[in-house]
A and B are shown apart, each in its own frame.
Chain A
Amino acid sequence: MKGLPLSPLRGRGLIIGVPWFWLGLFFLLPFLFVLKISLSEPVLAQPPYMDLIREVEDGLVSISVNFGNYLLLWEDPLYRGALFGSLKISAISTLFCLLFGYPMAYAIARAPSHWRLPLLMLIILPFWTSFLIRVYAWIGILKGNGLLNNFLIWSGLIDQPLEILHTPLAVYIGIVYSYLPFVVLPLYATLVRLDLTLLEAAADLGCRPWKQFLTITLPLSLPGVIAGGMLVFIPVVGEFVIPDLLGGPDTLMIGKLMWTEFFSNKDWPLASSLAAVLLVVLIIPFVALRHFEQREEAV
């Protein structure tokens, strides 16, 4: 604790207080409003919900809490299906991100040291260019008379264009494509620190490369696998742009449903209860992510 350059108490208070206040106001507090509105009834007004606490007459206050939205979410197969569908799509695409990202991260971590930084930069660069535009690029590739179908027909592999756009497959492709950098970076960070002498020792004792990988490399890189996996899984559950642009009417995801309830149906209470449910569902993977990040910090 010695030698802190900003030790006077007033400075300390400001440094901690200002970001705390900002995030408390604009990040934490809003969730309370989500909870509040989710318990209210929709009305045709501006804003389109009924306040929970209303002054009926002078001094007389009426409080009405409406759990109907949550009941609807549970009973209506549309909403339940969207929630479980989102979790399923998210889990499968996380798995594919890890399957594709692991060899890439491994190759970069084992590349000559002066190659690593440029190779990593190449992974990060697409992340800096517009997400919306990168998803949009796939429309031109996957659609009926798009680049992929044209190529496959030209090469004689197929004679009828494949229907890929507006199917779940297109959503998976879009998600894996957009979120791949998020798994490569944490995986690289754990793989590059791997103690190579362990592998040498195993090899000297006659361990085969595959077994080395399964018994040493993979277990030691597990924190990176979990961190990378969660960085994909959590935001993808609520993804809107990808299912909206690449998915079809049968790819129901909760983020897209929330968007429709809010913008098309103007049902703010129902959209809020969807958000509240999504938030609660995502707390478990978030805690897992925090847990592994803290372990990383301690190392």
Chain B
Amino acid sequence: MKRRFPLLMTALMFGYAFLYGPILSLIVYSFNESRLVTVWAGFSTKWYGELLHNQQLLDAAWLSVKVAATTACGAVVLGTLAALALVRFRRFRGRGTLQVMVTAPLVMPEVIIGLSLLLLFVAMQDSIGWPDGRGQLTITLAHTTFAMAYVTVIVQSRLAHMDQSLEEAALDLGARPLKVFFTITLPLIAPALAAGWLLAFTLSLDDLVVASFVSGPGATTLPMVVYSSVRLGVSPEINALATIIVLLVSSAVAIAGVLLYRQEKRAQREQNLG
């Protein structure tokens, strides 16, 4: 075992280099003076300045943030309900279907999700007049549907590994079920909810394919703007935008990771004491 370890570690290091190399190259070249992305012409932050003057991009970013925030909140509520149903109620009619419906969006190709939802929205508008037209609302509904599946998986695993004796004790002492849920269950699963919210937010912020299908003429999200400019080739502005996104996301994830890590440590210590 010991002898093979350096070999494995080398493989791991290569893996990380493969995962992070391309992202690092974007960050480095976002500070490149030249418009020719791959020729280094000196350090400059001018592309960041240009980003701030690109009104189309700023509008799209604002729309994406609005959609992502609404999506994340909706997905956390729906995903938590689905996780509660699947973990706490072992038997009910339609359980198998629910289980499939929360697993399938995780692997379903986005083109199928996008096209099928668009056809649904068109048919709904035809027959009941809602949703009226396509845009922010239809994108949010579509994103909530696939993001809730991810939230369900995260909350499900947390609920399954949770100690239920506290809830039982509170119920035995006469607390109402709803009160038990809000004062005991919810705080215990809060880290999973926070992680789920963040994941739903980033998934929505990142989605190009589903949004392109269900969006209307007036609503252009950030990935749609990025996509149309990327199709024309590499541009330093997109590099600068990528750097901002990468830094924002990685610092959010790092903070969340440290918080989760500390909480786990504390829980372990308490367990060791008890």
**A residues apposed to B, CB below 8 Å:** 1-8, 11-12, 14-16, 18-20, 22-31, 33-34, 36-37, 47, 100-101, 103-104, 106-108, 110, 117, 119, 121-126, 128-134, 136-141, 143, 145-147, 150, 177, 180-181, 199, 209, 230-231, 234-235, 237-241, 244-245, 255, 258-259, 262-263, 268, 271-272, 275, 278-279, 282, 286, 289-290, 293
14 A-B interface contacts by CB (under 8 A): A5-B88, A19-B85, A19-B102, A23-B102, A100-B15, A100-B18, A133-B242, A136-B242, A230-B107, A238-B109, A255-B109, A259-B111, A278-B111, A293-B103
A231 near B107 (CB under 8 angstroms)?
yes
**List of B residues within 8 angstroms of A14 by Cβ:** 81
Contact partners of B178 in chain A: CB under 8 A: 6, 11
The answer on a CB contact under 8 Å between B81 and A131 is no
Complex Cα distance A271/B241, Å? Answer: 33
Task: Give the contact-size bracket for chain B.
Answer: 35 or more
Given A22-B145, A129-B250, decide whether A235 and B230 contact each other with a Cβ distance below 8 A. no
* Choice from A104, A271, A279 contacting B15 with Cβ under 8 Å: A104
A-contacting residues of B (Cβ < 8 Å)? 1, 4-5, 8-9, 11-12, 15-16, 18-20, 22-23, 25-26, 29, 37-38, 78-79, 81-82, 84-85, 88-90, 92, 94, 97-98, 100-112, 115-117, 119-120, 122-123, 141-142, 144-145, 148, 152, 164, 167-168, 170-171, 177-178, 180-181, 184-185, 198-199, 202, 205-206, 208-209, 212-213, 223, 226-227, 230-231, 233-234, 238-239, 241-242, 245-246, 249-250, 253, 257, 261
DSSP majority for the A interface? helix
A265 to B93, CA, bound (A): 43
Classify the secondary structure of B's interface with A. helix
A272 B119 Cβ-Cβ under 8 A: yes
